[in-house]
Chains A and B, each alone.
Chain A
Amino acid sequence: MKQPIYLDYQATTPCDPRVFEIMAPYFTQVYGNAASRSHAFGWQAEEAVSNARAQVAAAIGAHEKEIIFTSGSTEAINLAMKGVVDMYGKKDGDCPGHIVTSLAEHKAVLDTAKHLESLGVQVTYLKPDQYGRHSAEQVAEALQDNTLLVAIMWVNNEIGTVNPIAEIGKLCKERQVLFFCDATQAVGKVPVDVEAAGVDLLCLSGHKVYGPKGVGALYVRRRKPRVRLVAQMDGGGHERGMRSGTLNVPGIVGLGAACEIAVRDLEKDRAHSRALRDRFEEKIFAALDHVHRNGHPEHRVDMCSNLSFAYVEGESLIMGISGLAVSSGSACTSASLEPSHVLMSMGVGDELAHSSIRYGFGRFTTEADVDEAAEQTIAAVNKLRELSPLYEMVQEGIDLSTVQWTAH
């Protein structure tokens, strides 16, 4: 079977061969435990880790002492949110404090928030605007006297919308509330600087930036203010006591190299993916009617195109474009039949949410890939609209919102 064209760069990226090459010796030759202080194997591993720490810190404008290596963003999110509540939450009384987050956050943030709610924490879930974006004013209105943390993502993983992080950061500084930002989809796609953005805690992940899977980092501010966290895993006290567990040296080396390349090649990568994305969208909009773009028209990352093809159901469309590796906003494959929570939170509506496909264009995507993707998509949409009773009704001039459906 011919491999499909990979256009799911938001889900994960291939490891850049340059990164893999740098990692390789740390599996077989430099295999020491970075915590071993008594011999050269350990010293070499520690040196590699400290070099990677500096690379990650430089990529986000942080100091190397502010970087905690984790297994990825999910772990970093858990550590940041639970660690803050455990450290700063009120110990007496029923409610440890209040958190402000967004309905459009990744499940890792939402589920952690739900867990904290079960422990008595009060959580405000902000509804984004129709483009999936939040304003600092909206966050300001949600702040309370007992607010411990604001958790808003930099770039949304489904629609690519970019939040005004520096404005939210400034607000949080003024109100002396900690600000945690999930930057998993931001690093390598937009400039990320924790000082300029006023972020106190920030997470990133290796496999979203052409690095390896299973490794990520949490930035923890150490000055103005010094942020402290209660560790969520007991053990040997690695990572300044915040994250125990033997360091994943090859992974960390890969993360460091990947971050360095991501920052060095940022403008090149952006221009490349923007050209491809624009080429793709031009072809789609020229050939098809009733296509809706999900996400912000300007404030979105260059590599993302989330489109709803009205009157065509997402899963059947995925079947029709079997030569493309993409994701659908419709989760009809699960028993719940729930469309994407992000699109729903933006008020996109069930119908268009069921009809959405997310395309991602990355470092290794070619013009030929894009042309093929557009061609397959156009053919499949046309075919499925031939089959669609909804498209037929619309052609006949029927307003679908006036039809009495038999919901099941």
Chain B
Amino acid sequence: MAYSDKVLDHYNNPRNVGSMDKKSNDVGTGVVGAPECGDVMKLQIQVEGDTIVDAKFKTFGCGSAIASSSLATEWVKGRTIDEALKISNTEIVEELSLPPVKIHCSVLAEDAIKAAIEDFKKKRDAGQ
């Protein structure tokens, strides 16, 4: 099947690959998906105040899943938590021109952002 140029670009040059210390209080970690479904995404955010200052990801999945999570890290950086929560999968679908069979990849990326923010909020609330 043919991939869009943007998917190929993210696949060939994935942005923000890596891991942060998941125990750190200013880091939120989201792990979504399952190996038996063929995709697992780990997305991490580092937050200062209300702003996401850095993001990292690792993804086991097809090219579209890798591109969706790579793009998600780019988009959350510099946004506030509330702004990042508004990122929807349809924006990712549009940006990467994902075909219908790959929409679940964008859904997973949206879930990963939400899960990372939720994890961060839990830590913050527990620390207060």
Which A residues fall within an 8 A CB radius of B?
A: 311-316, 319-320, 330, 332-335, 337, 339, 349-351, 354, 386-392, 400, 405-408
Contacts and interface: CB of A to CB of B under 8 A. Distances in A.
Interface string B12-55: 00100101000000000001111111111110000000000000
B37 A389 contact: no
Contacts of B42: 389, 392
A372 B38 CA distance: 27
A333 B100 CA distance: 10
B75 interface: no
B108 A408 contact: yes
Nearest to A391: B60
A319 B3 contact: yes
Nearest to A354: B38
B62 A350 contact: no
A166 to B, nearest CB: 38
B78 interface: no
Interface in B36-93: 36-42, 58-63, 65-66
A333 B60 contact: no
Q: Is the interface of A mostly helix, strand, loop or mixed?
A: mixed
B37 A337 contact: yes
Contact of B34 (A315, A349, A386, A405): A405
B104 interface: yes
Contact of B37 (A319, A333, A388, A408): A408
Contact of B101 (A314, A334, A339, A390): A334
Interface of B: 1, 3, 11, 14, 17, 19, 31-42, 58-63, 65-66, 100-101, 104, 107-108, 111
Contacts of A335: 100-101
Contact of A386 (B11, B17, B33, B35): B17
A236 B13 CA distance: 61
15 contacts: A313-B60, A315-B63, A319-B11, A333-B101, A335-B100, A354-B35, A387-B58, A387-B66, A388-B59, A389-B42, A389-B58, A389-B59, A391-B60, A392-B58, A408-B33
Among A313, A349, A389, A390, max chain B CB count under 10 A is at A389
Contacts of A320: 11
DSSP majority for the B interface?
A: mixed
A1 B41 CA distance: 33
A104 B20 CA distance: 44
A387 B101 contact: no
Given A313-B61, A332-B62, A333-B101, A407 B14 contact: no
Given A406-B32, A407-B37, A408-B33, A388 B60 contact: yes
A389 B63 contact: no
3 shortest interchain CB distances as A-B pairs: A405-B34, A350-B36, A389-B42
Given A333-B1, A333-B101, A389-B58, A407 B34 contact: yes
A393 to B, nearest CB: 9
A335 B104 CA distance: 10
Contacts of A313: 38-39, 60-62, 65
Contacts of A406: 31-34, 111
A405 B62 contact: no
B38 A332 contact: yes
A316 B109 CA distance: 16
B14 A387 contact: yes
A121 B67 CA distance: 48
Contacts of A392: 19, 42, 58
A405 B35 contact: yes
A334 B39 CA distance: 14
Contacts of A389: 31, 40-42, 58-60
A337 B60 contact: no
B35 A400 contact: yes
A391 B35 CA distance: 11
Contacts of B41: 389
A306 B99 CA distance: 29
Contacts of A333: 1, 101
B102 to A, nearest CB: 9
Contacts of B34: 405-408
Contacts of A314: 38
Of B35, B58, B63, B104, most buried by chain A (CB within 10 Å of CB) is B35
A339 B35 contact: no
A317 B1 CA distance: 14
A235 to B, nearest CB: 39
A351 B36 contact: yes
Given A333-B1, A334-B101, A387-B66, A339 B38 contact: yes
Nearest to B11: A319
